[in-house]
Amino acid sequence: MPPIIWEHRPERLRAPAMVCAFGGWNDAAEAATSAANFVAGATGATRFAHLDPEDFYDFQATRPQISLVEGEARSVAWPTVEISSARVRRAPRDLVIVSGPEPSMHWRTFCESVIDLAEALDVQMVISLGALLADVAHTRPVPLVGITSDEALAERTSVTPPSYEGPTGITGVLHGAFEEAGMPAVSVWASVPHYVAAAPNPKASLALVRKVESVAGVSVDAGELETAAADYERRVSSAVAGDEEVRSFVERLEEAADAEAEMESEEEVPSADALARDFQRFLNQRGDES
């Protein structure tokens, strides 16, 4: 049986962007998969295919789930990667969402299967989402890091390049496979406070959703997620306030974040020499026009 099981063929998609997120190692506080699933729900995405789990999962590590049907018969749901598509109104492109548990084995075959899928659907760009635990404050904007070798995507992404070297998950491997295949791809990771790593973290998910919007050029109604993010920050702040040691630690993280933001702001301000050059260029252009 081929790895990709097509349930039906989606209607022709317009310059689709593929959004990928996988649970487990790549998904601190489930922020990445929650973001992908939120985008799918907000855009009315419908499932049209899945990957055969027999090829990619150790069912002792990622076990199937049993549920009751009408209180009697049991239904077994096998872990799998679901593939959905959405026609996005008033947007230049449609979306393909690939989401599920990180595969346990045969990663190279897995990547080849997802790339084959992207080529079959004429996908124009790939956005991989991840989340990692970090020394960041829950009260500050969610830091995002991203990597791409595509210049156009680099301009759209506008995130800090990562400095991490070490073990990686399927998100990093798949991103590398897409780049080797010559397909425009960007991988974006949200930093999640390690002192509150329990899922969910809607604030980190919201940051990833907003980045999907800016990179893909689509708009998502994220009002529900914004409310959840604000409530999350309030609840964590309330819990932190009751522990002096944790509160002191968070305050140090806030100071570090504020100092870094101030440095970045100063770097963005053009120097006097740069302003003088721009003004001279403006005068020269006016002279040429006259």
Strand extents, DSSP E, 135-213: 144-147, 185-193
- 163: pLDDT strictly greater than 80: no
- Cis peptide preceding 202, ω within 30 of 0: no
pLDDT band, very low/low/confident/very high, at 1 (cuts 50, 70, 90): low
DSSP helix/strand/coil, 100: strand
pLDDT, mean of residues 3-25: 94
State the pairing for strand pair 65-69/73-77: antiparallel
- Cis peptide preceding 200, ω within 30 of 0: yes
pTM: 0.87
Quote the percentage of the chain above a pLDDT of 90.
70
